[in-house]
Amino acid sequence: MSAAAEPVTPEPVAPRVETPLRRFISQFMESRIAVGALVVFTIIVLLAVFAPWITPQNPYDLFQLDIMDGRMEPGTVGGAGFTYWLGTDDQGRDMLSGIIYGLRISLIVGAGSAFIAGIIGASLGMLAAYAGGKTDTVIMRLVDLQLSFPTILAALMILAFLGKGISNVVIALVIVEWAYYARTVRGSALVERRREYVEAAQCLALPTWRIIFVHLLPNCLPPLIVIGTIQVARAIALEATLSFLGLGVPITEPSLGLLIANGYEYMLSGKYWISFYPGIALLITIVSINLVGDHLRDVLNPRLQK
């Protein structure tokens, strides 16, 4: 925290050549694994964003599907004239195209829910730390209650109430995730609010919202970023799990989890690719995010600072 705190601290420091951002970047670059993971993740995001221009087939345009090509093994050339590198599913859908389109849904749901949960959680955590007293108690009780309940179950129940659908999955994920942000932000905000710069801001009679969002929040960012990164990966995994159980995204907008579920029944007859490859895609996505998050934690953790 202290690393990022310095530029905001009003006390005059001798000008440094090394800005925190630059130091952060150079520290991050030290780990080849983390950089590699970041590159992989960037490629995945690009694939998902430009899916319609990359995939040989629009997997949800029924006119492009040929039922005769159903359940073809990886590497077969289909009726449409291009090779199904990863095989096809039971409806003759190219798995590669299906996976890239599935990545889109998974990433949107994962990043979207982590982002919304981050805003809600960070605001509440900040409020709890700044207001203290009863507000703090109430918010933290809610957090405790939320965290004492396993995420998968909470999400399952919310979806059982709300029904399937992308927005419902996002709502469920936000409800189960906000508490992690709130707890983290409250923890670091409690430390930060005793610092001199906050006192100085209070002496200047700045409005509370300004102190919270302009002064306090930037200094609580490092742990928030770490939690946020890891929560994206968790959200993607959770969404996949829920979709696999048949409670997540609708069949018309299959994420990776639903693709895996679709292949389940064919696996026992040895047609592994329908489940296998979407799982690999899911795995690469989650691992790359986790590796980046893991290294971010090391870099941003003041206790491990050299």
Partner 1 sequence: MTLYLIRRLFQALLVMLAMSLIVFIGVYGIGDPVEILISPDADQAERARAVAALGLDLPLWQQYGVFLVRALQGDLGRSFVYNVPALQLILQRMPATLELAVGATVLAIVVGLPLGLYAGLKPDSIGGRSIMAGSILGFSLPSFWVGLMLIMVFAVQLGWLPSTGRGTTVEILGSRWSFLTRDGLAHMIMPAMNLALFKISLVIRLTRAGVREAMLMDYVKFARAKGLTNSRVIFVHVFKNILIPVVTVTGLEFGSTIAFSVVTESIFAWPGMGKLIIDSINVLDRPVIVAYLMMIVFMFIIINLVVDLTYTILDPRVRLESKAI
Q: Which is nearer to partner 1, 211 or 299 (CB)?
A: 299
How distant, in Å, are the alpha carbons of 10, 195, 242, 246 from that of 249?
A: 49, 46, 8, 8
Using CB under 8 A as the binding rule, whether residue 158 contacts partner 1 is answered as yes
Among 47, 108, 131, 152, indicate the residue that binds partner 1 (CB under 8 A): 152
Cβ contact 110:239 at 8 Å:
yes
Total binding residues toward partner 1, as defined by CB under 8 A: 40
Rounded Cα gap, residues 222 and 101, in angstroms: 32
Report the distance separating Cα 212 and Cα 197, nearest Å: 12
114 binds partner 1 (CB under 8 A): no
C-beta closer to partner 1: residue 59 or 293 = 293
Residues 6+ apart with CB under 8 A from 208: 130
**149 in the Ramachandran plot: left (φ > 0), alpha (ψ -120 to 50) or beta?**
beta
64, two tokens: 């492009």
In the list 24, 28, 60, 272, the residue contacting partner 1 (rule: CB under 8 A) is: 272
Between 5 and 242, whose beta carbon lies closer to partner 1?
Answer: 242
In the complex, the smallest distance separating the C-beta of residue 177 from partner 1, rounded to whole angstroms, is: 15
What binding mask, one character per residue, do residues 274-303 give for partner 1 by CB under 8 A, x or -? -xx--x--xx--xx--xx--x---------
- Locus of tokens 């069949």: 251
CA 5 from centre of chain? 26
Q: Which stretch binds partner 1 (CB under 8 A): 67-75, 96-104, 127-135, 147-155?
A: 147-155
Position among 12, 81, 133, 270 found at the interface with partner 1 (CB under 8 A)? 270
In the set 148, 194, 252, 306, which binds partner 1 (CB under 8 A)?
148
Applying CB under 8 A, among 246, 251, 302, 305 the residue interacting with partner 1 is: 246
Q: Which residue in the set 19, 52, 264, 305 belongs to the binding site for partner 1 (CB under 8 A)?
A: 264
Q: Does 83 bind partner 1 (CB under 8 A)?
A: no
3-class state of residue 88 by DSSP:
strand
Which residues in 183-242 contact partner 1 (CB under 8 A)?
233, 237, 240-241
- Nearest approach, Cβ of 60 to partner 1 (angstroms)? 23
73: number of Cβ within 10 Å: 12
d(CA 128, CA 185): 9
267 is a contact residue toward partner 1 (CB under 8 A): yes
Q: Is 138 in the site for partner 1 (CB under 8 A)?
A: no
Range 26-33, long-range pairs (CB < 8 A, 24+ positions): 27/299, 28/295, 28/296, 28/299, 31/295, 31/298, 33/291, 33/295
Q: What is the distance between the alpha carbons of residues 1 and 226, in angstroms, rounded to a whole number?
A: 12
Best CA proximity match to 54, nearest among 13, 116, 99, 15: 99
Q: Which is nearer to partner 1, 100 or 274 (CB)?
A: 274
- Per CB under 8 A, 144 contacts partner 1: yes
60 binds partner 1, rule: CB under 8 A: no
**Least distance CB 191 / partner 1 (angstroms):** 19
Q: Taking Cα atoms as reference points, which of 63, 189, 65 lies closest to residue 122?
A: 189
| Binding positions for partner 1, rule: CB under 8 A | 144-145, 148-150, 152-153, 156-158, 160-163, 233, 237, 240-241, 244-247, 257, 260, 263-264, 267-268, 270, 272, 275-276, 279, 282-283, 286-287, 290-291, 294
